Structure formats: C-alpha cells, structure tokens
Chains A and B, each alone.
Chain A
C-alpha cells in the first residue's frame, strides 16, 4: 500500500525504530540501513524515493554517503543531525542534501518536510489524504468529512482537530495533544478556545446528521469514532 519508500540511515537503534514506526504510521514504507559500511548498496537494492540521513555515522559520515548517493541518483535527501550549526547546514546543502532537520525534532515538522520534498520531486499527492474511522472519512485534500448519507466542509482548525483524533480512531486523545497539533499549524489557541471549537464542530456535525461522532471524557480528552 505504501507508495513511497523512505530509507532511514541512523545508527541509534532506538531512535531508528521509533522513527520508522512513526513514518510507517504516516503511511510510508520504511527501510532502515543496517550495514553502515555499505549504505550505498542498501540504497541501490531498495531504491527508496527519499533518504533520511544522519551525519554522525560509524565508518563514513553522512556527507560521504550523500555524495555517493548523489553520484548515482537525484533522490531527495533529508539530513537529520544533532550538529545543527550553520556550518554543517551549509555543508549539507553543498553536498547535495535537500533539507536539514535538527535533532531533537518534532515528528510533525519532520513529516511536513518529508511530504514537501516528495511533493516537489514526485508530484506527490499526500497519502495522508484519507483518514477513516467507522465509515466516516476525513478527506484532507478537500477539507471535508463525509459519511454514508452526508458530508460537511471543515475549517482549517476543525480539520486539524479531526485529523489528530482520527489518527487514532476511537482512542481518547488528551486536549493538550490536540492543542499541540494546532500550535504546530500556528493556531496558538488555549484550552477554552479548544473546547469552544470542539463544541461548535460537534454541533455542526449533528446538524448535518452525524451524531455522537466526537466523544468527551472529562479529565481525559476527546475521541472520534467508535469506542
């Protein structure tokens, strides 16, 4: 199902595994380089559409592999590094990197950059375009929520809220997590505004015929879809 395969070159096993899991959740295929003496071999074998490359690697560093890959391919390369001084960023771009994310990063930012690069290089139409929960489908590209018998147009904030909830269908998401997602898209709202927003959204859905889709558990958070 994953149309795009990302290659992850990161020698920290924990970070590698956690990041791979998050990228897979976001709908990407992920290959982790295992043999750091032959990253290029792995690249040739797996033919990924994008490479996430750490700079500090055993044997050869990320710059070396970037140059090696560049000699073969125009694949987008995103550097991931803790050493985010301007020097390294400039060097990374000079070696043929397309972007740079400083560790520790926020997954949202990383995903946004990955998607932006894919869009630029492959005419990528966000795979995240559809999120479904119990027959209700969130169409991100069109900004609407549809279900058997109806649909509503959503505002930007409403879409962000539903997206956060529907990424884990049925599970209760703390309001702080939703707020964080909203802040990430530059809506710096507080808890009161969030509950106003959610009540308005809930009313909007009810008026359109979708009742009980968003549930509240006091002190825990909100959930969308079947529990």
Chain B
C-alpha cells in the first residue's frame, strides 16, 4: 500500500510539474476567455453562445493536454532511466524537440565526452606511473645486488641492505597487488621448503639481533603460489624479529590436521588486544607501531591482501608481553579475483 501511496504522490507531483511547465499557455487561454467574456458583457450579448464556445475550447484543450501530458511523462521517465544507465554513456539520448532542448542535449553530450577523455587520460597516467615505478624497482635491485656482494663481510650493513630489499619487495607487491591473479602460479609446494626459503632470506635479521629460530613439524604440502606466500612469510618473520627482544625465540611449524595451517610464533612484546582486529588495515600502526618509528602499517595490510588473493587467510593471536602467533591458513577458498 505504501507503494501505491507513493505512486499517487508521484502522480500528483507529475501533474503539478506539468501544469507548472505549461502555465503560460494556461494563463494565455484564461486571459483570452476573460477578454472575450468582457467584450460579450459590454456588448450586452446573451452569454449562452459564449458559454458553449468556452466549453468546446476547454474540452478540446483538455483532450490535447492529455496527449501532451502522456508525452511529458514518457520523456521524463526516459531521461530518468538515462541517469541510471549513465555508466554506459549517453547513447540513445532522446532527440531534442526545440532549440533549447537541443542546447541542453549538446551540453550533456559534450560533458560526457570530456568525462570520458579525462577518465582515459587518468587511466593512461596511472599505467605510465605504474610502469615507471615497476621499472624503478627493478632498476634499484641491480645496485642492491652489487652492494650485497660488496658488503658481504659487514653484518650490520648487510642487515640494513636486507631491510632496503624488503622495502622494495613491499612496494613492488603493493603495485602488483591488483594484478596478483595475472602473476599467480598455483602449485603444490612442500610446506617445509616454503618455510626454509623464507627463513634463509631473512636469516640476517635474526642473526644480527641474536634471536633463536626453531622449526617444528612441517610435513605435507599446500596448493599455493610459492613466490607470493614467501613474501608473506618473510614479512611475518621480519615482523617477529622486529618485535622480539634479543635472546628471544621465533618458531615456525604447522598445526596438525587439514587444512594446512602454518604458524609463525614469537615470544616478543605481543600486541594489545584492541589492536588485533585492526592489524590488516591499511596504515594501521597500533601501539607497537607508534613506539617503532619505522612502522608504516603497510606490511600486514599487504600480507592480508595477498593472502586473500591467494585464497588463504591470515589471523593473529597475541598475549601482551608473551608473544604473538600468526596463523596462515592455506586452504583453498575461492580466489578473490575482483
């Protein structure tokens, strides 16, 4: 019923709008009839003939107006539909009836053209920027590789270099995140190989800080993308290393049973309970992040996004002052391609 009431109100509004649009015509007819009436009265003619003529004119005008009103409503509805279909552009915009309508129509079409041009320009700029940043990140890896060789004997310098390398990887992942599905190669990977590969890559961060690393049970394999999962593991390991004081211990193991769940556990400073639900949010640094000026709140955001793209899930458990566990649930959910 509410629907019907709404449509009555809608109808009344349409009629009102129509009358408003035709007020000059109505006023002209009323004025003409008034002038005739005045003249008839002044001449002292009987008003019967005048009344009859009035009735005819008004009836005729009413019938014509009905047709006109129907057209008015049709055009109104057609234009409204275009508003909803604006995404697809403005093809089939109803033709103009007069010069003014034509002007509005041209205005709309011109605006649309400009919008499309601006959009494609923006898209082109974005892809040029993307191409340049990708190029830059590949360029910078060669001098990093050279420095790595030159500084091999210097543990402190190598550790800093490893950080730079990780930042470059992060930036590259950030750029490619939206194209993960293109750069995705799923295969059965032995879990142990994934873990050791990531650990070796971060070894300096642990050795330099004097952290212990323990490997637990790591049997079986998971269907995943080796490169992207290692990126996530490296991020989690370097986070664990960052937030665990010297002498602490980081453990990597898988939980019993299917689906395969990898755990990166540390006995570091832990995360505040109120921060845990926000860990995967972009730019969220939390209490620990505020303490550590190096935190940008990007690492875990990227990890969470990458994991979602891979059809996995990442979650955290933590006890303040006792440590953090990161769970990588490697089951295959439907891949998030959007």
* Chain A residues close to B by CB (< 8 Å): 12, 14-15, 18-19, 22, 56, 82-87, 90, 103-107, 174, 176-177, 179-180, 183-184, 186, 188, 190-191
Of B17-25, B63-71, B212-220, the segment with at least 4 beta carbons within 8 Å of chain A is B212-220
Q: With an 8 A cutoff between CB atoms, is B45 at the interface?
A: no
Interface string of B172-207 (1 = CB under 8 A from A): 000010000011110000000000100110011011
Task: Supply 8 A–B pairs (Cβ within 8 Å), ascending by A.
Answer: A12-B146, A15-B143, A82-B138, A86-B184, A176-B207, A180-B204, A184-B200, A190-B212
Contact of A104 with B165 at beta-carbon distance under 8 Å, contacts A82-B138, A188-B214 already known: yes
Q: Which residues of A contact B141 (CB under 8 A)?
A: 82, 103-104
Chain B residue at minimum C-beta to C-beta distance from A81: B138
Q: Are A107 and B144 in contact (CB under 8 A)?
A: no
Q: Are B183 and A85 in contact (CB under 8 A)?
A: yes
Q: Are A86 and B146 in contact (CB under 8 A)?
A: no
Contact of A180 with B207 at beta-carbon distance under 8 Å, contacts A14-B146, A103-B144 already known: yes
Query: Could you tell me which residues of chain B, from 123 to 175, have a CB within 8 Å of some CB in chain A?
Result: 137-139, 141-150, 152-153, 155, 161, 165
Q: Are B203 and A191 in contact (CB under 8 A)?
A: no
In the complex, A174→B152 CA distance in Å? 12
Pick the contact of B203 from A84, A174, A183 — CB < 8 Å? A183
Residue among A177, A188, A191 with the highest chain B CB neighbour number at 10 A: A188
Pick the contact of A174 from B155, B200, B213, B214 — CB < 8 Å? B155
Contact of A183 with B138 at beta-carbon distance under 8 Å, contacts A104-B144, A104-B145 already known: no
Q: Are B227 and A84 in contact (CB under 8 A)?
A: yes
Q: With an 8 A cutoff between CB atoms, is B208 at the interface?
A: yes
* Chain B residues close to A by CB (< 8 Å): 137-139, 141-150, 152-153, 155, 161, 165, 176, 182-185, 196, 199-200, 203-204, 206-208, 210-215, 225, 227
Pick the contact of A82 from B142, B148, B207, B208 — CB < 8 Å? B142
Number of A-B contacts (CB under 8 A): 84
Q: Which residues of A contact B225 (CB under 8 A)?
A: 86
Contact of A18 with B183 at beta-carbon distance under 8 Å, contacts A86-B227, A174-B155, A188-B199 already known: no
Q: Which residues of A contact B196 (CB under 8 A)?
A: 186
Pick the contact of B149 from A19, A56, A90, A180 — CB < 8 Å? A19
Q: Which residues of A contact B153 (CB under 8 A)?
A: 174, 177
In the complex, A13→B118 CA distance in Å? 43
Q: Which residues of B contact A22 (CB under 8 A)?
A: 149
Q: Are B148 and A188 in contact (CB under 8 A)?
A: no
Chain A residue at minimum C-beta to C-beta distance from B208: A176
In the complex, A14→B211 CA distance in Å? 33
Pick the contact of A12 from B142, B176, B215 — CB < 8 Å? B142
Q: Which residues of B contact A104 (CB under 8 A)?
A: 141, 144-145, 147-148, 161, 165
Q: Which residues of A contact B212 (CB under 8 A)?
A: 190
Q: Are A107 and B208 in contact (CB under 8 A)?
A: no
Chain A residue at minimum C-beta to C-beta distance from B192: A186
Nearest CB of chain A from residue B269's CB, rounded to whole Å: 20
Nearest CB of chain A from residue B245's CB, rounded to whole Å: 14
| Supplied contacts A15-B146, A22-B149, A183-B207, 15 more A-B pairs, CB within 8 Å | A15-B145, A82-B137, A82-B141, A85-B183, A86-B184, A86-B225, A104-B141, A104-B145, A104-B147, A177-B155, A180-B204, A183-B199, A188-B199, A188-B215, A190-B213
Q: Which residues of A contact B184 (CB under 8 A)?
A: 86
Q: Are B203 and A107 in contact (CB under 8 A)?
A: no
Nearest CB of chain B from residue A187's CB, rounded to whole Å: 10
Q: Which residues of B contact A18 (CB under 8 A)?
A: 146, 149-150
Q: Which residues of A contact B200 (CB under 8 A)?
A: 106, 183-184, 186
Nearest CB of chain B from residue A63's CB, rounded to whole Å: 15
Which 6 A-B residue pairings sit nearest by Cβ, starting from the closest? A82-B141, A104-B145, A15-B146, A18-B149, A183-B203, A82-B138
Q: Are A82 and B150 in contact (CB under 8 A)?
A: no
Q: Are B183 and A103 in contact (CB under 8 A)?
A: no
Chain A residue at minimum C-beta to C-beta distance from B184: A86
In the complex, A85→B231 CA distance in Å? 12
Nearest CB of chain B from residue A37's CB, rounded to whole Å: 20
Nearest CB of chain B from residue A194's CB, rounded to whole Å: 10
In the complex, A184→B143 CA distance in Å? 23
Q: Which residues of B contact A85 (CB under 8 A)?
A: 176, 183
Q: Which residues of A contact B146 (CB under 8 A)?
A: 12, 14-15, 18
Q: Are A14 and B155 in contact (CB under 8 A)?
A: no
Residue among B165, B210, B214 with the highest chain A CB neighbour number at 10 A: B210
Pick the contact of B138 from A83, A90, A179, A180 — CB < 8 Å? A83
In the complex, A101→B33 CA distance in Å? 95
Q: Which residues of B contact A83 (CB under 8 A)?
A: 138
Residue among A12, A14, A103, A105 with the highest chain B CB neighbour number at 10 A: A103
In the complex, A83→B140 CA distance in Å? 11
Chain B residue at minimum C-beta to C-beta distance from A16: B146
